[in-house]
Amino acid sequence: MRGAKVLVNTLKEQGAKLLFGIPGGANLAIYDELHESGLRHILTRHEGGAVHMADGFARVTGTPGICLGTSGPGATNMITGLGTAYLDSSPVICMTGQVSTKMMGNDAFQESDSFDMMIPVTKSNFKLRSPDDIPAVFTKAFAVATSGRFGPVAIDIPSDTVSSEFTGEACLPAQFAEHVPQVKGRIADAVAMLNSASRPVLLVGGGAKWAKCGESVVELAEMLGAPMVTTVMGKGAVPEDHPLSMGTTGMHGRRSSARIMEEADVVLAVATRFSDRTTGKTSDFIPKAGVIHIDIDNAELGKNVRNVIGLTGDCAVIVQTLKSMLRNSAGARSGWTARAIAMKSYCQCDFNILESPLKPQKVIHELSRLLPDNAILTTDVGQHQMFAAHFFEASGKRKFITSGGLGTMGFGLPAAMGAKVAEPGTKVVCLTGDGGFQMTFGEFATAVENNIPVFVVVINNGSLGMVRQFQKQFYNNHLFAVDYSKSPDFVKFAEAMGGAGVTVERESEVAEAIRAGLSSSVPFVADMRVDINEDCLPMTPPWTGRNGTIYGRCKWRDISDGEIANFGK
């Protein structure tokens, strides 16, 4: 059989049911085998969209999302999507066509060195040299993507390796997997530090979602009487309606979360890499705390925050191990718990803003109120993303999916489509800005064509909102190249593509629009025309520390240290 047949069979052996992609000259042999393979193929409008869809699928299922592009521009169009998946540890299998092995290096038509270009944005990278290599390469690719710290894997496939005859063994080789220690590190020291802590805090990162250890983290927090703070990527790992859940911290996080971190004497960090958007000015970050850092990737321990007690391994196993070794000391820390709950209560501000023009906070308020407890919310990147991280309540089993590490505009819609394909019975909402939406809104036609009824909520302020906010606050209000003088009518666009939508300009219309989007049987756009001058605040610029926080409407601006000292008393 041809190499392409072996490739398709190997995908099926690995459990693949669907893939996202676009055909081209260099990958047509694969497509020739796909047409009778039984695998579902979703034809996207852009190869970048295919990677984001595979990424969204992976973040929901925990299994590899698969995408396929052709050589040259097909491969280069996929690099941003791979960078997004790489920095957020998402297992994507990216296949790219390539010119034949005999033509490589001759600047043949649509030739690019995609192998070398993708090395910095993938966990591992392969170039096929023979059809006989297909089973081993693909088996290893799937294993690498989903063992240890998850990540994307790219496979460059010269056209002759899939058009030539396979002469190797028909059976698959033995499974490959990275060795990950169950628990490696100073576990006894970590237990002693936690048992002796007076003010412990759990900082929960995105890796907790991949490890599916949120329930165990909550149980550990309850044992310790410790408040739980999440990074933006960790949002949704633990239910935010739990009394000990403080919400997100960092540049646009809640002041209650930042304050409780500042007062902690021990921080147990679960599967976070301490990015600059979480720590801000490092000299102000957890100044009084010893740090226990759990991560599956040993390279992250001590990288951004030094002098940690590091525990390497499967985070779910380590959390369970700590639970079995620690004392149940919540009663002894009742004062600390009461203080955290009081801080959280103070931070529950009323953002059901009934003002005109429409405010983004009002949209987030209604999404929190109306979305089912198992809904999936994806976001794009920008002001709306940080409004959602701060104000949206990821209660119950709600999933929150965003581009954190790379901050990729255009991610939201295709990621939502991948999530909806993964869980067709779940309500999936994409929260995006007008700038981010226009980067990949061609994929709305893909959603209509493939009956993927995602609900797109556009926070439309006619500008690149976050860049505009920065220009106002840090560049002497020099507004330049951020406002759109002409944008599409997104509802007419949705209708032209075969979907539906509604334009919203008043706060009284928001709830009805969200109900319409959630009940729509076709892809739906709610164009929320919001106030261009409403900034995403509070914000703590990373170079300023706590004293440089810009509060805006946030009531923490008016409270004294003396009043804060009485929280929980």
Task: Give the separation between CA 151 and CA 124, rounded to whole angstroms.
Answer: 8
Q: Is the pLDDT of residue 316 over 80?
A: yes
Domain total of the chain: 3
Same domain, 315 and 370: no
Are residue 369 and residue 320 in the same domain, yes or no? no
- pLDDT tens digits along 283-307: 889 988 999 999 999 999 999 998 9
DSSP string covering 35-86: TTS--EEEE-SSHHHHHHHHHHHHHHHSS-EEEEE-STHHHHTTHHHHHHHH
Is 535 a domain residue? no
Q: Are residues 390 and 270 in the same domain?
A: no
pLDDT, residue 220, reads 98
- Note whether residue 569 is domain-resident: no
Query: pLDDT tier at 104 (50, 70, 90 boundaries)?
Result: confident
Query: Are 341 and 304 contained in the same domain?
Result: yes
Residue 539 per-residue DSSP state: B
Say what the pLDDT of residue 546 is: 79
State residue 171's pLDDT score: 54
pLDDT value of position 505: 97
- pLDDT-derived band at 500 (thresholds 50, 70, 90) equals very high
Residue 212: which pLDDT band, with cuts at 50, 70 and 90?
Answer: very high
| 35 C-beta neighbours (distance < 10 Å), count | 8
Residues 9 and 145 in one domain: yes
pLDDT (tens digit per residue) in 51-82: 999 999 999 999 999 999 999 999 999 999 99
CATH number of the domain that residue 98 is part of: 3.40.50.970
In this structure, are 49 and 7 located in the same domain? yes
The CATH number linked to 272 is 3.40.50.1220
The C-alpha atoms of residue 491 and residue 489 are separated, in whole angstroms, by: 6
Give the pLDDT mean for 331-351: 95
Q: How far apart are CA 538 and CA 553, in angstroms?
A: 8
pLDDT beyond 90 at 349: no
Question: pLDDT at position 542, please?
Answer: 84
- Are residues 150 and 239 both part of a single domain? no
pLDDT tier for residue 258 given thresholds of 50, 70 and 90: very high
pLDDT in the model for residue 173: 56
pLDDT interval class at 170 (50, 70, 90): low
pTM over 0.85, yes/no: yes
- For the segment 367-372, the average pLDDT, to the nearest whole number, is 98
Q: Is the pLDDT of residue 157 over 60?
A: yes
pLDDT at 172 over 70: no
Q: What's the whole-number mean pLDDT along residues 114-130?
A: 96
Q: Looking at residue 416, what is its pLDDT?
A: 98
Triad 499, 502, 504: Cα angle to 5°: 155
